[in-house]
Structure 1
Amino acid sequence: MSTILAATSDPVGIQPVATIDTFDFHGHQAAVLANEHGHWIFPGQLCGFMGIDANAQRQRITRKHWSQGWTCETHVHLPADDRARTHFLLHERRLATWLGSIDTSRIKDPTTRTEVEQHQTEFADALADYLTKGAAINPRINPQPADDLALLEGMVQAIRADRQRIAAVEQAQAVTAAKVAAIEGRHDEFTALGYAKLNDLPTGRTYLQRVGVKASAFMRAEGRTPHRRQDATFGEINVYPVAVLERAFAAVPE
């Protein structure tokens, strides 16, 4: 395959500078234009190789629903030509559909006719495999060991990247949980006011202060100290385990 840069001028989207490659089409070097939208073939050139009417094929292509949005025209100087000309292009994704629709009885050269018919049969089989099996495999393409190794390395790298992302998410979740715990307190600990409201007990400030003193005394007797949490009114307040508050409320008369 050879590659050159060709100046083009196309009102419908082909870049001002595009890459022209060539590939073997039954012994002929066929041109293909590559740009950001993919690869485009020159039906007129292929028709010349097959010995069929290029203009008639162009009309057939443009009339078909499957070609809508997949054709264009561009002014380009092909490697085998002496000057730039306007050419009709067909996207590579529609090449098989077009070749499969050609009436091969119009191809005069028997060798070319046989090869095109083989392509048509292969396209039909690939379509059937896609529709019935979910995938079509080119039997002429055998991955080399290096390709398999590259595939495995890519999978390993993807797994490592996923693990790194998961670790980052878990770390962020742990930080968030710590912040929530700092704001809301522990699930099994309450302020005296919170426990009183939860259990429909008296909420008078003086009464709750006496409950808090009693709860703190119970904890000191066990060698523990109450946890502290932020409060919008008092700055910081004590929180106590549920079991300690139960004893403190029971021990302090209303």
Structure 2
Amino acid sequence: MKKIILIDDEMQSIGVLQNLLKEYKGFKVCATAQTLDEAFIAIKEHQPDIVLLDVQLNEQSSFELLDRIKEINFDIIFTTGYHKHSEHAVKAFRYNAIDYLLKPIDREQLSESFSRTSRHQDSLKFFLQKLNTLKTNFFGENLIRQKLAVPTTDGFLLAEINEITKCESDSNYTHIYFSNGYKIITTKTLKHIEKLLTDQPFFFRVHQSFLINLQYASRYYKGKGGYIELKDGSTVPVAVRKKERLIRTLTGN
């Protein structure tokens, strides 16, 4: 039996979720909370498996609650009645959100979210699915159309960020690879490109010479540092000091 805590500043929203959850076997609401303090106490006391958490609680951000918790060992499903800016997508990604649901929440939405929690053990496959969910729910079509101005020897190229698969350092230059097989060389360092992509939650610096888009990762191979295989069949080394954080990111543990 999976234990669930419902956190929302509106009692009506909690009531709706409670009614929906009555239809699910194997899930039990062990507590509800309407403030950050109540939520913190409930999580500490009940040690839930899943927390349905409203993004905004009485003019406070739910991320303040998560910052107070030393170890988040439960799945998080964010709920909200409105779209927020992309900054919330990055924060939700870091807190390993399973999903992000817009109110009014219906049965199909909730069912799909719970199915994701049950597939959580399928680490890399689930991780990539989660990236796509966050991309759709937080950024929508805007992310797909978002461009990066990449300096070149004769000007600059407006590159589709979502189509970048990896960036490879070459001294003071950087090779940027795209999903369609196209490659360009920019006159900027990899460090500079990484800074330009700071607000993009899908990019990970796996090695001194490589920055990759985890949406295009297909497999991780163990080893001293290991290496990542991308969907195009190419492989990228993983630095030893990056290995632990990368594995945590891919598995959600």
TM surpasses 0.5 = no
More strand by share: 2
Compare the two structures and name the one with the higher helix fraction: 1
TM range (shorter): under 0.3
TM-score by length of 1: 0.24
So what's the TM-score if we normalise by structure 2?
0.24
- Point out the structure with max Rg over C-alpha: 1
